[in-house]
Structure formats: structure tokens, C-alpha cells
């Protein structure tokens, strides 16, 4: 079992909602929970299926069929997904050039947070618990989708370094949130500077994983 550090980029999130995620103790909830408003334990188990994971990964923006049980709650699979995307970074191999290509978690989350450097958004710094095996049915453990030894089928977005959380990321597992302005970020990147946050929210109730063991850092 590992405590895997992750980043989560959220675009167009207002300051009040960002504060509610961490300071208010709400955590980050899945779109399914957000769409339903209220969920029950017996419903959670029905949502944690490998089929729903694949829809989350490969069909996020695909329209829901008319007969889908949650068609009234959203237009796409992403609108009603019980899973939450985060990134821990990725490495891919280029056989032709005989080199490895690194996709840093920070840059990936920046792209999501700012809609590819066009607007403002937040990056949340958190950690998830993984067990280096598929554990889709177990809500307490996250899926290491980026790990090719676990998820062996081809995934077009593998370079995003995804670690998939389930239902919600508790507030105590979120260390902080940083707000970024997309155009300003792009300007700094072109100058080979690390982008500066325009606002930082610190979670005073953060349960630091350094108090535990087996922590896996970001790439």
C-alpha cells in the first residue's frame, strides 16, 4: 500500500468553491455525486465497475445514450462519472530516438486548470492510497491507471499520468490549492520560469502522509 501524491487541475473554479473543497472540509467529489446531490452506500458499489472506469478514461466527452440511467443528470459520461481524475506524472518510451519522455504532473495539471493556458483555475495538491493492483470495487483505494503492468490495454491519454480516485477525495488528504492565470502562466513558461500562483489556500486540517510510510513522490 502506498500514499501517492497527486495533483488535480480544475478550470474556472471560483474562490468560494475552492475554499469549500479544503477549508470547508467538503473535499473533491465526483461528478456523479455532484449531479445526484445525495448518494447512498448501496449506490456506490453499483458505480464502481471496470466498465465505468473505461468510460471515464476513454469516453469522458461521449454523449450518454438515451436509455442510460443517469441521462437526466448529464449529457456525457464525464458528467455522471463516479471517478475523479488526478495526475502523478508519466514516463513514455520513444523507441526511435531511444529515449524516455517525461510528462511532469505539474504541467499536466496546469493545462487542465487553465484550459490550456486560456483562463484561470486551481491546482489541488493531494494524496491518494494505492495498492499496485486493480481494486475498482474498493472505494478506499485509487486506480493506478498510468501503471502499464496493471492497466495493460492501450489508453490514448496515458501521458496524462492518471491516478483515478473514487467518489471523493477527502479534505484531510488535500494539502493546499494554488490558483493560476493561464495567459500569465504561458508567458512565464516561454521565459523558462516556473509559473507563479496568484493565490494559495492552505489546509490547516491536512493529515500529512509523512506521518505514515511508503510515500510515492510525483514525477
Q: How far apart are CA 125 and CA 88, in angstroms?
A: 10
Domains of the chain, residue spans: 2-65+77-216
Share above pLDDT 70 across residues of the chain, in percent, rounded to a whole number:
99
Local confidence band at 1 (pLDDT 50, 70, 90 cut-offs): confident
Fold adopted by 2-65+77-216: Heat-Labile Enterotoxin; Chain A (3.90.210)
**pLDDT value at residue 112:** 98
pLDDT in tens, 66-107: 999 999 999 999 999 999 999 999 999 999 999 999 999 999
Residues with Cβ within 8 Å of 96's Cβ and at least 6 positions away in sequence, in order, are none
Report whether pLDDT(34) > 90.
yes
Residue 218: pLDDT band (50, 70, 90) is: confident
Share of the chain above pLDDT 90, in %: 93
> Three-state SS for 124?
strand
Global confidence as pTM: 0.94
Tell me what the pLDDT averaged over the chain comes to.
Answer: 96
Calculate the CA 17 to chain-centre distance.
17
Look at residue 98 and give its three-state secondary structure: coil
Amino acid at each position: 500500500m502506498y500514499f501517492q501524491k497527486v495533483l488535480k487541475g480544475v478550470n474556472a473554479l471560483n474562490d468560494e468553491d475552492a475554499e469549500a473543497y479544503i477549508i470547508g472540509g467538503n473535499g473533491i467529489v465526483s461528478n456523479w455525486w455532484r449531479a445526484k446531490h445525495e448518494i447512498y452506500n448501496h449506490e456506490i458499489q453499483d458505480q464502481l465497475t471496470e466498465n465505468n472506469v473505461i468510460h471515464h478514461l476513454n469516453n469522458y466527452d461521449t454523449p450518454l445514450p438515451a436509455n442510460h440511467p443517469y441521462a437526466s443528470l448529464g449529457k456525457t459520461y464525464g458528467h455522471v462519472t463516479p471517478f475523479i481524475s488526478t495526475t502523478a506524472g508519466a514516463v513514455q518510451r520513444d523507441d526511435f530516438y531511444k529515449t524516455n519522455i517525461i510528462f511532469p504532473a505539474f504541467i499536466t495539471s496546469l493545462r487542465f486548470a487553465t484550459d490550456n493556458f486560456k483562463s484561470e483555475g486551481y491546482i489541488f495538491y493531494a494524496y491518494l492510497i494505492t495498492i499496485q493492483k486493480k481494486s475498482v470495487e474498493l472505494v478506499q483505494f485509487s486506480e493506478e491507471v498510468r501503471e502499464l503492468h496493471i492497466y495493460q490495454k492501450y489508453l490514448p491519454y496515458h501521458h496524462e499520468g492518471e491516478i483515478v480516485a473514487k467518489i471523493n477525495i477527502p479534505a484531510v488528504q488535500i494539502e493546499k490549492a494554488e490558483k493560476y492565470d493561464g495567459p500569465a502562466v504561458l508567458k512565464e513558461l516561454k521565459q523558462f520560469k516556473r509559473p507563479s500562483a496568484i493565490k494559495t489556500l492552505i489546509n490547516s486540517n491536512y493529515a500529512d502522509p509523512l506521518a505514515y510510510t511508503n510515500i510515492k513522490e510525483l514525477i
